[in-house]
């Protein structure tokens, strides 16, 4: 990037996006339910969730392709809810890239500027700069059909940022790329976003993608935002079972709380009992949740409680060993570091599991 | 795959289709240009008179009918050719597609008007006649404040400019006869002059005979040069049209012939005999048909105002008509008309309009020079690229009949004639416009 | 059974694989030969026997091109040629003006009655001969309804129907459905993200349409427009009925049917017509090369249908109504005419009656029955041939396969009367065992209709097959289906919509075909509706019944069309659901 690119100025005046109590239904199908989100200026933000959770609908709503039944969307403090898509200045990169086959790469990128009646010389300069930015200046006169998937994706990005949008929306931008390209392109996207300082919203169903490039994530399910936070917060402190399960592997032990002699115990379904520390708040109907690395086979680490179990399955994963252990009626995964010379426990072996209750969570629903 | 669909077709066929019999005994197949209004009463009457015989009528226009007989002669399935235009029969005759039959009818004279009723070699026979005349839409005439015409020459008057229609003689055998009659009656040069003066007022020259009455009936054109029965049947249907025979009317016969190698020769001859028998002749008097019988005795049964060419001298009798002359130059006359009038109508109309305007100006303010110019213009319009002798010469006629010898090609001649006419129309228009300036 | 499509990717460049690459499976070769025989027998030979005259010298019968020189030297023909070019081009323009708003509004917005409009938009193709032009004149002619009223109110007349104007107007009305159908399909196949991307970048309204939507729909538009151009260029009935003779097709007709004249020029013009048509189709094929914009992708699903604001909706309905009123004018006029006692030089008929229908019902049942039979068999033959030719051209590497396409398409340009005469010449000599000539069987009419309407069905099948990804077939073959079974179980079901569209177009237009039919009808009992109409329209008293018969024809064909539209819509929905 030797050439100064005009867009880089934008970083200083990046805007925030405020989504307030947005509701949307298609007939009887309630797709978005009271969404409240605040995306900070210059933030790389992800909507993460399984397919059908409403994340793409929400993104399209910000772009103006869906109309909310209630609530509003503010971009940089301005309510854009009633504006048509072409007046929002919200750049979107489509999942399919949506490059127009009848135009060259250059014409594709110039399109938005032409629509804005930017002077020709300025258009040429900015198109060149945008293509330079994505490293495709040498392919400007090709047709989209003559480009590879990764190149098409970069043209789509260049086309969008050429108009210097206030916000950049990315709709599953990596889904049409192969695994290797995906890793490379997501780094490029992150770099680009950092350089431009552009408020960016990214839609994905892949937690790894979201974790690696986003500042904050909104986890969505069933039209509701489940939790908002940094990738680590979400991993460490999931607000509910859904979040816990969707981000990384979570062991979930169902059971019930029993009071006996002034003390509380958790009876795991299948007959295993463990004490509940005094200060811990256990919501009604909660389940015990812990990550595989928060427990170990007895003798390998210091836990708070010991639970009896039987090894069902064991895997050697290189730096760790993973055991699937039956505790009561449930099966849990347990990761222990691999030490040289160690042997795997065979399935059927009875073991004791040492669990750190400080790291464990009690989550209802 | 094809076999499959044919099989399907056959299946559907048996379900829907009762199956057409191909060689039914006692079936007489007729190819005709006459409309249902004419053929239906004859079919009924004939089938009643000859029980067991059915008349299968195939409706085609005259040209298509002739073409059809020509193309199918190798395995002919048609018994009767039945149409108006004598020239079509002449063509069939020259190609030996007709069969000799002298109808067993009595009391039929040799001529109707000045036109011979039967072919001298009995290859075809006249069974009815019709007169040509002028038909007009009354509402149209009143709305445009146009006077009622009485004679051919009336239609050349400026007041009728762009209000008249006629079928192209090359497309309508009866119109051809009318043109030929005018040419023979008035002479080659004067005849063409009259024709072009009238034609200069044309709004359209139609490709089908029926196109003219159709346009007049619907009011798209005011006046049409038509065969009388078109007008009479339109009146019978309630259209606001009127008709007049000009003082000199051409009488054109309608003919019937037995086709060579007719599959049902006896039936065919019976039909021809029936047509010219008194019973058949009477059918002609029906209002929907209304043609002139060739048997003078039948007129006794006709309504009082029925035109009778055998008594009324204005109906055809005053016209001379030489069949031989006509026959020789048929194609030449048709092509001449097409090339100098039909396809040059815009140029001819422009010249005609300019002449009318100039004459109107002169009528208000006399000017000898202008008068001379208008006369020149009229002469330019009237002049023809070929003389009467040339029109009948074998060099020219040969170009149209595809003779065995090499010679002038039709397209070459046409281009010459068209260019000739167009150039003169443009000159005429220029002269008339000049005259108009002088007379102002 | 290694097919040509897969053989192209064979790894070992052995002699046998090279052979496979050039050739095809025996089944495909047999199919190609079958079609070739059919086309040669029912198209090339009959037409050849007629038009070879164009290349012979007068008198000697030797081969010559002098007749073409004559053509070039004759002012009338040159004028006719340019008039034909002008009228065809202008008809495309006017037809586009009719078709664009209808296609756009019905595919792009939530529009009540979109399907009805698509069906009504198809109706003009079913313009019965004679009566259609008569009805148009009664409405728009110099003394038609509109001009009589204009004259009364404002003292002006608009020359809608004068000369070339009239031909352009009527032709545009008659053939605009070709553009409507093709353009609508193309619009439906544009991925919605294509449009959204443009909106996202700040484009909207007309600019969006003009820069993104229309260019993407261009292949469909070109396909429709070229068909309109060729049909108008080759149509003779409309100019003749409007008394315009200085165009090429009417000139050819007038000359071919002149009795007693042995002039090659009619056939010379026919050759020119055929060449021009092939040229036009070739140019359009060239223009479309490399522009396969079938853009429906994953997550796509056609243009988003937008709900209109009230004022937009009012404007859209007004536009649609006005266009429908114009393009359905012939049918409206026809309907009025069929109920009219007398309609002459007046804005509306003098009085109304049902008598015409009474007369027609009794007499014309046989015509209706024949028409449905002939048109449906012809349509069937057409789609079978259409599918086969499209498959051979698009999915095999057979040498010369495009020639099948060109030959079948050339039928578009052959004047019906030339084909009719050719059939008589070729098949009258062929006798059945009982001595009746082959040409007297009604199946001859069906074959002529099938040949004349083959290009329509072929285009529809071609487009349908073009949109099916080869990978779907490869998947089937990979799972063990033979070529035959792949076609039956995968290709045909996916083409169903296009096949039906092709059938409907062939069927509907064959039902009102006249020019070839008139030559081939051998007896009243075998005659189709168009012949019945012709017979009625030759007399003053027959005008009303003729119109009534025309209305019945239009209604019948429209009903069949509507039913097919329903089926297409249904299958489209089913396919959309499974996506």
Based on the fold, state whether residues B386 and B273 are members of the same structural domain. no
In this structure, of A6-20, A231-245, C363-377, C556-570, the range with the lowest mean pLDDT score is: A6-20
Write down which chains contact chain A via at least 3 CB pairs under 8 A: C
Distance CA C557, CA C118 (A): 14
Provide the 3-class DSSP secondary structure of residue A325: strand
C227-239 burial, b if ≥16 CB within 10 A, otherwise e? bbbbbbbbbbbbb
Q: What angle do CA B256, B262, B264 make, to 5 degrees?
A: 100
Based on the fold, state whether residues B94 and B20 are members of the same structural domain. yes
User: Domain range spanning residue B74?
Assistant: 2-129+254-301
The confidence score (pLDDT) of residue A148 equals 87
> Which of B4, B7, B9 to substitute to test the interface with C, most C CBs within 10 Å?
B9
From B301, B331, B363, the end of a domain falls on B301
Chain C neighbors of B342, CB-CB under 8 A:
245
Per the model's pLDDT, the better-predicted residue between C498 and B282 turns out to be B282
pLDDT mean across residues, chain A: 87
Chain-chain contact of B64 with C376 (C-beta, under 8 angstroms): no
B122 assigned to some structural domain: yes
The full set of domains in chain C, from first to last, is 1-52+356-574 (1.10.3720.10), 65-353 (1.10.3720.10)
Looking at chain A, the whole-number percentage of residues with pLDDT higher than 70 is 95
Is the pLDDT assigned to residue C21 strictly greater than 80? no
Report the helix count and the strand count for chain A, using DSSP H and E: 8, 21
Query: Cβ neighbours of residue C303 under 8 Å, at least 6 residues apart?
Result: C107, C108, C187, C188, C190, C192, C195, C213
The confidence score (pLDDT) of residue B3 equals 39
State the pTM of this model: 0.82
CA-based nearest distance C548→chain B, Å: 16
The confidence score (pLDDT) of residue C164 equals 92
| pLDDT-derived band at B409, boundaries 50, 70, 90 | confident
CA-based nearest distance C74→chain A, Å: 44
Q: What is the average pLDDT across C339-362?
A: 88
The full set of domains in chain A, from first to last, is 6-240 (3.40.50.300), 251-363 (2.40.50.140)
From B269, B301, B333, the end of a domain falls on B301
Distance CA B193, CA B190 (A): 5
Chain-chain contact of C194 with A116 (C-beta, under 8 angstroms): no
| pLDDT-derived band at B182, boundaries 50, 70, 90 | confident
Query: Cβ neighbours of residue C189 under 8 Å, at least 6 residues apart?
Result: C220, C294, C295, C296, C302, C467
| pLDDT-derived band at B312, boundaries 50, 70, 90 | confident
Chain-chain contact of C384 with B2 (C-beta, under 8 angstroms): yes
CA-based nearest distance C366→chain B, Å: 9
Q: What is the average pLDDT across B400-413?
A: 71
CATH number at residue B32: 3.40.190.10
Q: What is the average pLDDT across C439-446?
A: 84
If you ran DSSP here, which 8-state letter would residue C53 be given? Answer: G
Based on the fold, state whether residues B110 and B258 are members of the same structural domain. yes
> How many residues does the structure list for chain B?
440
* Neighbouring C-beta atoms of residue C156, cutoff 10 Å: 8
The confidence score (pLDDT) of residue A356 equals 82
B175 assigned to some structural domain: no
Interface of B with C in 162-221 (CB under 8 A): 170-171, 204-207, 210-211, 213-215, 217-220
The confidence score (pLDDT) of residue B18 equals 33
| Residue C212: C-alpha distances to residues A101, B349, C287 (Å) | 10, 50, 18
Chain C neighbors of A96, CB-CB under 8 A:
191, 193, 297-300
Distance CA B32, CA B46 (A): 16
Write down which chains contact chain B via at least 3 CB pairs under 8 A: C
Chain-chain contact of B343 with C76 (C-beta, under 8 angstroms): yes
Is the pLDDT assigned to residue C27 strictly greater than 50? yes
Chain-chain contact of B330 with C142 (C-beta, under 8 angstroms): no
The confidence score (pLDDT) of residue C13 equals 39
B230 assigned to some structural domain: no
When divided into structural domains, chain B yields a total of 2
| pLDDT-derived band at B21, boundaries 50, 70, 90 | very low
Q: Does B16 touch chain C (CB under 8 A)?
A: yes
Is C382 buried (19+), middle (13-18) or exposed (0-12) by CB count in 10 A?
buried
Is C115 buried (19+), middle (13-18) or exposed (0-12) by CB count in 10 A?
middle
The confidence score (pLDDT) of residue B140 equals 94
Is the pLDDT assigned to residue C499 strictly greater than 70? yes
In this structure, of A173-187, A327-341, C400-414, C425-439, the range with the lowest mean pLDDT score is: C425-439
Is the Cβ–Cβ distance between C360 and C431 less than 8 Å? no
Chain-chain contact of C200 with A102 (C-beta, under 8 angstroms): no
| pLDDT-derived band at A2, boundaries 50, 70, 90 | very low
CA-closest candidate to residue C401, choices C25, C17, C35 = C35
Based on the fold, state whether residues B337 and B430 are members of the same structural domain. yes
Query: Cβ neighbours of residue C476 under 8 Å, at least 6 residues apart?
Result: C485, C486, C489, C490
Is the pLDDT assigned to residue B260 strictly greater than 80? yes
Q: Which chain C residue lies closest to B27 (C-alpha atoms)?
A: C523
Is the Cβ–Cβ distance between C322 and C120 less than 8 Å? no
B188 assigned to some structural domain: no
Is the Cβ–Cβ distance between B248 and B187 less than 8 Å? no
Looking at chain C, the whole-number percentage of residues with pLDDT higher than 70 is 90
Per the model's pLDDT, the better-predicted residue between B194 and B324 turns out to be B194
Based on the fold, state whether residues B291 and B359 are members of the same structural domain. no
Q: Does C207 touch chain A (CB under 8 A)?
A: yes
Chain B neighbors of C344, CB-CB under 8 A:
137, 139, 217-219, 239-241
Chains A and B, touching by 3 or more CB pairs within 8 angstroms:
no
User: What is the distance between the terminal CA atoms of chain B, rounded to a whole angstrom?
Assistant: 78
ipTM: 0.84
Based on the fold, state whether residues B280 and B370 are members of the same structural domain. no
Based on the fold, state whether residues B265 and B119 are members of the same structural domain. yes
Distance CA A257, CA C35 (A): 81
Distance CA B120, CA B276 (A): 17
Is the pLDDT assigned to residue B109 strictly greater than 70? yes
Q: Does B314 touch chain C (CB under 8 A)?
A: no
CB-closest option in C424, C437, C539 to B36: C539
Residue carrying the six token digits 């811990």: A280
Q: Which chain A residue lies closest to C218 (C-alpha atoms)?
A: A102
The confidence score (pLDDT) of residue A360 equals 86
CA-closest candidate to residue C483, choices C28, C21, C13 = C28
CB-closest option in C143, C373, C424 to B13: C373
Q: What is the average pLDDT across C516-521?
A: 76
Q: What angle do CA C425, C430, C431 make, to 5 degrees?
A: 135
Chain-chain contact of B1 with C134 (C-beta, under 8 angstroms): no
| pLDDT-derived band at A124, boundaries 50, 70, 90 | very high
Based on the fold, state whether residues B334 and B296 are members of the same structural domain. no
Looking at chain B, the whole-number percentage of residues with pLDDT higher than 90 is 49
Q: Does C312 touch chain A (CB under 8 A)?
A: no
Based on the fold, state whether residues B263 and B380 are members of the same structural domain. no
CB-closest option in C417, C429, C446 to B74: C429
Mind listing the pLDDT tens digit for each residue in C245-294? 889 988 888 887 776 666 788 888 888 988 888 888 888 878 877 665 55
Chain-chain contact of A100 with C191 (C-beta, under 8 angstroms): no
H runs (alpha helix) in B228-344: 228-236, 265-276, 278-283, 323-340
The confidence score (pLDDT) of residue C8 equals 35
Mind listing the pLDDT tens digit for each residue in A61-76? 999 888 889 999 999 9
> How many residues does the structure list for chain A?
365
If you ran DSSP here, which 8-state letter would residue A313 be given? Answer: E
Based on the fold, state whether residues B355 and B398 are members of the same structural domain. yes
B192 assigned to some structural domain: no
Based on the fold, state whether residues B368 and B417 are members of the same structural domain. yes
Phi, psi of A248 (to 5 degrees): 75, 180
Provide the sign of the torsion angle of the four alpha carbons C213, C218, C219, C223, taken in this order: positive
Mind listing the pLDDT tens digit for each residue in B336-383? 999 999 999 999 999 999 999 999 999 998 888 999 999 999 999 999
Chain-chain contact of A92 with C200 (C-beta, under 8 angstroms): yes
The confidence score (pLDDT) of residue C578 equals 40
Interface of B with C in 345-384 (CB under 8 A): none
Mind listing the pLDDT tens digit for each residue in A316-352? 888 888 899 998 888 899 988 888 887 888 888 888 8
B183 assigned to some structural domain: no
Chain-chain contact of C261 with B400 (C-beta, under 8 angstroms): yes
Mind listing the pLDDT tens digit for each residue in C133-156? 788 888 999 899 999 999 989 988
Measured CB to CB, residues of chain A less than 8 Å from chain C are 63-65, 84-92, 94-96, 98-102, 111-112, 115-116, 156, 159-160, 163, 176
Based on the fold, state whether residues B344 and B423 are members of the same structural domain. yes
Chain-chain contact of A96 with C297 (C-beta, under 8 angstroms): yes
Q: Does C194 touch chain A (CB under 8 A)?
A: yes
Query: Cβ neighbours of residue B38 under 8 Å, at least 6 residues apart?
Result: B288, B289, B291
Chain C neighbors of B239, CB-CB under 8 A:
342, 344, 540
Mind listing the pLDDT tens digit for each residue in C310-333? 888 888 889 999 999 998 999 999
Is the Cβ–Cβ distance between A56 and A48 less than 8 Å? no
Distance CA A206, CA A203 (A): 9
Is the pLDDT assigned to residue B147 strictly greater than 70? yes
From B238, B270, B301, the end of a domain falls on B301
B178 assigned to some structural domain: no
Chain C neighbors of B146, CB-CB under 8 A:
none
Mind listing the pLDDT tens digit for each residue in C225-243? 988 998 898 888 888 888 8
Mind listing the pLDDT tens digit for each residue in C72-108? 988 999 999 999 999 999 999 999 999 999 988 888 7
């Amino acid at each position: 990037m030797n050439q100064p690119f005009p867009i880089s100025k934008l970083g200083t005046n990046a805007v925030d996006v405020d989504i307030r109590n947005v509701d949307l239904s298609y007939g009887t199908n309630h797709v978005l339910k009271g969404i409240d989100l605040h995306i900070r200026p210059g933030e790389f933000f992800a909507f993460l969730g399984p397919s059908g959770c409403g994340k793409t609908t929400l993104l399209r709503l910000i772009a103006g392709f869906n109309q909310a039944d209630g609530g509003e969307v503010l971009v940089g403090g301005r309510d854009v809810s009633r504006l048509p898509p072409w007046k929002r200045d919200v750049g979107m990169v489509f999942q399919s890239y949506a490059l127009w086959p009848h135009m060259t790469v250059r014409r594709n990128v110039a399109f938005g500027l032409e629509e804005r009646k930017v002077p020709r010389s300025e258009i040429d300069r900015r198109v060149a700069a945008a293509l330079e930015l994505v490293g495709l200046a040498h392919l400007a006169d090709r047709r989209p059909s003559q480009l590879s998937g990764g190149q098409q994706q970069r043209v789509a990005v260049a086309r969008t940022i050429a108009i210097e949008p206030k916000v950049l929306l990315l709709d599953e931008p990596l889904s049409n790329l192969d695994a290797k390209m995906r890793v490379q392109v997501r780094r490029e996207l992150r770099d680009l976003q950092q350089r431009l300082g552009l408020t960016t919203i990214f839609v994905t169903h892949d937690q790894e993608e979201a974790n690696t490039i986003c500042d904050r994530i909104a986890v969505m399910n069933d039209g509701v935002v489940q939790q908002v936070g940094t990738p680590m917060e979400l991993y460490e402190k999931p607000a509910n079972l859904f979040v816990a399960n969707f981000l990384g592997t979570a062991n979930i032990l169902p059971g019930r709380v029993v009071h006996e002699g002034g003390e509380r115990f958790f009876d795991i379904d299948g007959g295993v009992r463990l004490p509940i520390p005094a200060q811990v708040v256990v919501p009604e109907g909660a389940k015990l949740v812990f990550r595989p690395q928060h427990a170990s086979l007895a003798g390998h680490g210091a836990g708070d409680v010991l639970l009896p179990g039987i090894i069902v399955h064991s895997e050697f994963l290189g730096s760790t060993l993973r055991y699937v252990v039956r505790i009561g009626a449930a099966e849990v995964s347990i990761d222990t570091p691999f030490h040289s010379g160690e042997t795997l426990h065979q399935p059927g072996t009875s073991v004791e599991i040492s669990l750190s209750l400080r790291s464990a969570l009690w989550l209802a629903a | 795959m094809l076999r499959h669909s044919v099989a399907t077709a056959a299946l559907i066929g048996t379900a829907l289709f009762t199956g057409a019999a191909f060689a039914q005994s006692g079936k007489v197949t007729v190819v005709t240009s006459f409309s249902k209004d004419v053929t239906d009463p004859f079919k009924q009457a004939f089938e009643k008179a000859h029980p067991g015989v059915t008349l299968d009528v195939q409706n085609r226009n005259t040209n298509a009918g002739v073409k059809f007989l020509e193309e199918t002669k190798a395995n002919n399935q048609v018994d009767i050719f039945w149409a108006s235009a004598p020239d079509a029969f002449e063509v069939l005759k020259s190609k030996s597609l007709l069969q000799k039959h002298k109808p067993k009818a009595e009391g039929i004279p040799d001529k109707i008007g000045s036109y011979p009723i039967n072919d001298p070699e009995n290859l075809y026979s006249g069974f009815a006649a019709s007169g040509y005349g002028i038909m007009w839409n009354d509402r149209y005439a009143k709305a445009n404040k146009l006077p009622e015409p009485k004679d051919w020459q009336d239609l050349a008057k400026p007041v009728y400019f762009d209000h008249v229609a006629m079928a192209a003689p090359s497309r309508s055998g009866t119109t051809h006869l009318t043109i030929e009659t005018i040419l023979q009656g008035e002479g080659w040069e004067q005849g063409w002059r009259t024709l072009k003066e009238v034609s200069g007022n044309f709004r359209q020259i139609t490709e089908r005979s029926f196109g003219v009455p159709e346009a007049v009936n619907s009011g798209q054109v005011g006046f049409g040069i038509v065969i009388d029965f078109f007008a009479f049947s339109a009146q019978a249907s309630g259209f606001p049209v009127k008709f007049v025979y000009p003082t000199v009317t051409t009488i054109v016969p309608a003919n019937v012939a037995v086709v060579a190698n007719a599959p049902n020769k006896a039936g065919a001859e019976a039909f021809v005999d029936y047509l010219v028998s008194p019973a058949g002749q009477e059918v002609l008097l029906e209002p929907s048909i209304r043609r002139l019988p060739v048997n003078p005795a039948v007129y006794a049964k006709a309504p009082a105002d029925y035109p009778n060419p055998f008594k009324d001298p204005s109906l055809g009798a005053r016209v001379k008509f030489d069949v031989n002359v006509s026959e020789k130059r048929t194609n030449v006359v048709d092509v001449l008309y097409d090339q100098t009038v039909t396809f040059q109508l815009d140029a001819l109309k422009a010249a005609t309009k300019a002449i009318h305007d100039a004459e109107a100006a002169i009528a208000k303010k006399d000017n000898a020079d202008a008068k001379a110019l208008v006369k020149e213009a009229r002469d330019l319009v009237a002049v023809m690229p070929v003389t009467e002798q040339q029109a009948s010469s074998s060099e020219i006629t040969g170009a149209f009949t595809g003779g065995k010898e090499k010679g002038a090609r039709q397209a070459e001649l046409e281009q010459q004639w068209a260019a000739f006419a167009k150039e003169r129309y443009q000159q005429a228009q220029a002269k008339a416009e000049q005259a108009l300036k002088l007379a102002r | 059974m290694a097919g040509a499509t897969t053989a192209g990717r064979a790894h070992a460049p052995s002699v046998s694989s090279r052979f496979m690459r050039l050739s095809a499976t025996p089944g495909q070769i047999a199919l190609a030969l079958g079609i070739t025989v059919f086309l040669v027998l029912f198209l090339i030979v009959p037409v050849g026997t007629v038009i070879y005259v164009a290349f012979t010298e007068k008198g000697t019968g030797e081969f010559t091109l002098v007749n073409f020189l004559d053509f070039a030297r004759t002012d009338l023909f040159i004028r006719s040629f340019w008039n034909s070019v002008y009228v065809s081009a202008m008809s495309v323009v006017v037809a586009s003006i009719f078709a664009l708003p209808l296609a756009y509004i019905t595919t792009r917005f939530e529009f009540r009655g979109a399907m009805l409009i698509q069906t009504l938009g198809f109706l003009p193709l079913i313009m019965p001969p004679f009566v259609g032009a008569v009805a148009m004149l009664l409405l728009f002619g110099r003394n038609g309804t509109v001009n009589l009223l204009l004259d009364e109110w404002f003292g002006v007349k608009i020359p809608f129907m004068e000369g070339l104007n009239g031909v352009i107007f009527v032709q545009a009305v008659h053939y605009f459905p070709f553009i409507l159908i093709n353009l609508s399909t193309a619009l439906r196949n544009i991925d919605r993200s294509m449009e959204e991307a443009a909106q996202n970048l700040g484009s909207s309204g007309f600019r969006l349409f003009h820069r993104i939507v229309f260019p993407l729909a261009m292949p469909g538009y070109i396909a429709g427009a070229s068909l309109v151009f060729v049909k108008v260029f080759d149509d003779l009935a409309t100019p003749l009925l409007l008394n315009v003779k200085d165009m090429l097709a009417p000139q050819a007709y007038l000359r071919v049917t002149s009795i007693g004249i042995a002039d090659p020029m009619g056939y010379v013009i026919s050759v020119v017509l055929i060449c021009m048509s092939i040229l036009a189709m070739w140019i359009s094929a060239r223009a479309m090369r490399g522009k396969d914009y079938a853009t429906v992708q994953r997550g796509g699903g056609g243009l988003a249908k937008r709900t209109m604001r009230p004022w937009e909706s009012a404007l859209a309905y007004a536009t649609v109504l006005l266009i429908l009123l114009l393009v359905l004018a012939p049918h409206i006029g026809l309907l009025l005419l069929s109920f009219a006692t007398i309609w002459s030089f007046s804005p509306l008929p003098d009085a109304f009656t049902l008598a015409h229908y009474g007369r027609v019902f009794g007499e014309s049942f046989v015509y209706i029955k024949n028409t449905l039979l002939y048109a449906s068999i012809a349509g069937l033959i057409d789609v079978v041939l259409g599918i086969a030719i499209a498959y051979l051209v698009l999915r095999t590497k057979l040498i010369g396969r495009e020639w099948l396409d060109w030959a079948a398409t050339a039928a578009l340009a052959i004047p019906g009367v030339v084909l009719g005469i050719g059939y008589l010449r070729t098949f009258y000599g062929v006798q059945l065992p009982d001595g009746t000539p082959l040409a007297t069987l009604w199946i001859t009419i069906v074959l002529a209709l099938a040949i004349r309407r083959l290009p329509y069905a072929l285009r529809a099948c071609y487009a349908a097959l073009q949109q099916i990804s080869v990978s779907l077939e490869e998947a089937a073959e990979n799972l063990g289906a033979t070529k035959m079974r792949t076609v039956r179980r995968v290709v045909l079901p996916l083409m169903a919509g296009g096949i039906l569209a092709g059938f409907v177009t062939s069927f509907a237009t064959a039902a009102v075909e006249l020019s070839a039919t008139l030559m081939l009808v051998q007896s009243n009992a075998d005659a189709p509706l168009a012949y019945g109409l012709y017979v009625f329209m030759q007399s003053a008293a027959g005008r009303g019944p003729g119109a009534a018969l025309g209305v019945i024809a239009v209604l019948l064909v429209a009903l069949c069309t509507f039913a097919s539209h329903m089926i297409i819509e249904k299958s489209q929905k089913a396919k959309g659901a499974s996506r």
